C-alpha cells in the first residue's frame, strides 16, 4: 500500500485510500495512536449488540474531529467524516493525493482492474468501458432492463423487503447484461451470481486467509469467477460470436502496437466493473426511492406526465 511521508494514507471510506504527497502535511490525530490494529478493525467490523459500527465512527469523530487516523484492513489510513473534508481531498486539493487500495482488495478484484491504474492503460480501458455504456448500447437494452425491473418488482409482492439489498440484485443483473450481453447459458449466470455474492460478502473482511474465514471464502469465490468467465470467453470464441458488450470490447481491443489484452486483464476488468457498478448504483436507486416516497411533489410530476401534450414533449426529449 502506498504511504506518505508520515506513513499514513487518507481515506473517505474503508475502500478508498489516498496518499499525502505534500511533505509538509502532518498526519492528524486519531484512535490509531492508542489502539492496536486488530482491536481497531474489530471495533469497526464486529460491533456489539448495542453499539453499531456507525456509532463507533461518530464517537471517534467527536473525539478527534472531522479528520482522524485509524487502521482499516490492517493498513493505516485517515478517515474523513464531513462533506467539506471529502471535497478537500477529491476536488479542491486533489493534486495533493494519490488514490490507492489495500492489497487485500486489489487481490480480490484483480491487479489489472482499471481503477488500480493511473496511466495510458487506465485511459484505454476507461474508453472501452464507456463505449459499452454508450447511449446507443443502452437504448437497445432498455426492454431487457425493464424486464429485469418488472421481474424484481413482482418478486416483492406481499413481502417486506430490504430495498438496498433487493436493488443490489437488480444492479447485478443489469451489470451482467452490459458485460456479457444475453447469457443463454443459465448455469453460467447462476454461478456468476453465487460466487460474486461470496466475493462481495468478504470484500471488507479482515484479510486473514485461513480456511473458513470470510476473506478465504472470497478468495476462493474469486478463483471460481475467473474460471466461469474463462468458460464464457471460450464458448464465445468457439461460436465466433460478436457482441457489442464489454466482454466483446475487451476481446477485440488492440493498442497502437497491435497488442491485445491478456486473459487476466480481461477477467480483472470485468469483475472490477461489476463490482464498481453494484453498490454505488444500488445506493443511488435506494435514495431515489426514499425521496420519491417522501416528497409529495413527485405526485404532481406523475399527474403532469399523464397530460398528452407534456407527454409528447417528454418523449421527444428522450435520446
Q: Three-class SS string for 180-192? A: HCCCCCHHHHHHH
> 169-182: b or e for each residue (b if 16 or more CB lie within 10 Å)?
bbbbbbbbbbbbbe
Q: What is the pLDDT of residue 13?
A: 40
Judged against a pLDDT cut of 70, whether residue 108 lies above it is answered with yes
Question: Which has more pLDDT, 277 or 188?
Answer: 188
Residue 35 pLDDT grade (very low, low, confident, very high; cuts 50, 70, 90): very low
Which of 76-80, 82-86, 220-224 has the largest mean confidence? Answer: 220-224
CB 268 within 8 A of CB 112: yes
Residue 171 pLDDT grade (very low, low, confident, very high; cuts 50, 70, 90): very high
Judged against a pLDDT cut of 70, whether residue 30 lies above it is answered with no
Judged against a pLDDT cut of 70, whether residue 315 lies above it is answered with no
Q: What is the pLDDT of residue 169?
A: 92
Average pLDDT over residues 272-283: 85
Of the candidates 237, 206, 231, the residue with the CA atom closest to the CA atom of residue 219 = 206
Of the candidates 120, 93, 117, the residue with the CA atom closest to the CA atom of residue 106 = 117
The rounded mean pLDDT for the chain is: 76
Separation between Cα atoms, residue 168 and residue 215, nearest integer Å? 21
Judged against a pLDDT cut of 50, whether residue 85 lies above it is answered with yes
Judged against a pLDDT cut of 50, whether residue 24 lies above it is answered with no
71 is written with which cell numbers? 487502521
Residue 58 pLDDT grade (very low, low, confident, very high; cuts 50, 70, 90): low
Among 1.10.630.10, 1.10.10.10, 3.30.565.10, 3.40.50.1820, name the CATH number for the domain at 114-317: 1.10.630.10
Residue 306 pLDDT grade (very low, low, confident, very high; cuts 50, 70, 90): low
Q: Beta strand 9-13 with 75-80: parallel, antiparallel or unpaired? A: parallel
Q: What is the pLDDT of residue 239?
A: 76
- Could you tell me the pTM of the whole model? 0.69
CA distances from 202 to 85, 104, 217, 219 (A): 28, 10, 7, 8
- pLDDT of 243-268, one tens digit each? 778 998 898 888 888 889 999 999 99
Average pLDDT over residues 130-150: 89
CB 208 within 8 A of CB 215: yes
Positive or negative: CA dihedral 153, 154, 158, 161: negative
Average pLDDT over residues 8-32: 46
CA distances from 141 to 70, 118, 247, 266 (A): 44, 31, 16, 23
Count CB neighbours of 1 within 10 A.
Answer: 17
Looking at 48-62, 96-110, 135-149, which range is the least confident one? 48-62
36 phi/psi in degrees, rounded to 5:
-60, 155
DSSP state of 90: I
Average pLDDT over residues 262-284: 88
Residue 227 pLDDT grade (very low, low, confident, very high; cuts 50, 70, 90): very high
Which H or E run includes 247?
Answer: helix 246-252
Which residues make up the CATH 1.10.630.10 domain(s) of the chain?
Answer: 114-317
Q: What is the pLDDT of residue 214?
A: 92
Judged against a pLDDT cut of 60, whether residue 294 lies above it is answered with yes
Separation between Cα atoms, residue 159 and residue 152, nearest integer Å? 12
Q: What is the pLDDT of residue 80?
A: 81
Residue 29 pLDDT grade (very low, low, confident, very high; cuts 50, 70, 90): low
Residue 22 pLDDT grade (very low, low, confident, very high; cuts 50, 70, 90): very low
Amino acid at each position: 500500500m502506498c504511504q506518505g511521508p508520515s506513513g499514513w494514507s487518507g481515506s473517505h471510506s474503508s475502500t478508498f485510500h489516498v496518499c499525502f504527497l505534500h511533505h509538509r502535511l502532518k498526519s492528524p490525530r486519531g484512535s490509531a495512536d492508542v489502539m492496536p490494529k486488530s482491536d481497531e478493525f474489530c471495533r469497526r467490523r464486529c460491533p456489539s449488540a448495542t453499539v453499531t459500527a456507525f456509532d463507533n465512527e461518530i464517537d471517534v469523530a467527536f473525539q478527534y474531529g472531522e479528520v482522524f487516523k485509524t487502521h482499516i484492513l490492517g493498513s493505516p489510513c485517515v478517515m474523513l467524516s464531513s462533506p467539506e473534508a471529502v471535497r478537500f481531498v477529491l476536488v479542491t486539493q486533489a493534486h495533493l493525493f494519490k488514490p490507492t487500495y489495500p492489497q487485500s482488495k486489489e487481490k480480490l478484484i484483480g491487479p489489472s482492474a482499471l481503477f488500480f491504474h493511473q496511466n495510458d492503460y487506465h485511459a484505454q480501458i476507461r474508453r472501452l468501458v464507456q463505449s459499452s455504456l454508450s447511449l446507443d448500447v443502452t437504448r437497445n437494452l432498455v426492454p431487457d432492463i425493464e424486464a429485469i425491473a418488472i421481474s424484481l418488482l413482482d418478486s416483492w409482492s406481499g413481502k417486506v423487503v430490504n430495498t438496498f439489498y433487493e436493488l443490489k440484485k437488480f444492479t447485478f443483473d443489469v451489470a451482467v447484461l452490459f458485460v456479457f450481453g444475453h447469457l443463454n447459458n443459465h448455469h453460467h449466470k447462476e454461478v456468476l451470481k453465487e460466487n460474486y455474492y461470496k466475493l462481495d460478502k468478504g470484500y471488507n473482511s479482515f484479510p486473514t486467509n485461513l480456511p473458513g474465514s470470510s476473506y478465504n471464502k472470497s478468495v476462493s469465490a474469486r478463483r471460481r469467477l475467473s474460471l466461469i468467465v474463462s468458460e464464457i470467453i471460450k464458448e464465445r470464441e468457439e461460436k465466433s460470436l460478436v457482441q457489442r458488450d464489454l466482454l466483446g470490447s475487451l476481446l477485440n481491443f488492440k493498442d497502437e502496437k497491435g497488442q491485445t489484452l491478456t486473459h487476466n486483464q480481461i477477467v480483472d476488468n470485468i469483475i472490477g466493473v461489476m463490482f464498481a457498478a453494484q453498490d454505488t448504483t444500488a445506493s443511488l436507486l435506494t435514495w431515489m426511492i426514499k425521496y420519491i416516497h417522501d416528497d409529495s411533489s413527485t405526485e404532481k410530476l406523475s399527474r403532469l406526465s399523464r397530460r398528452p401534450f407534456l407527454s409528447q414533449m417528454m418523449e421527444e426529449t428522450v435520446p
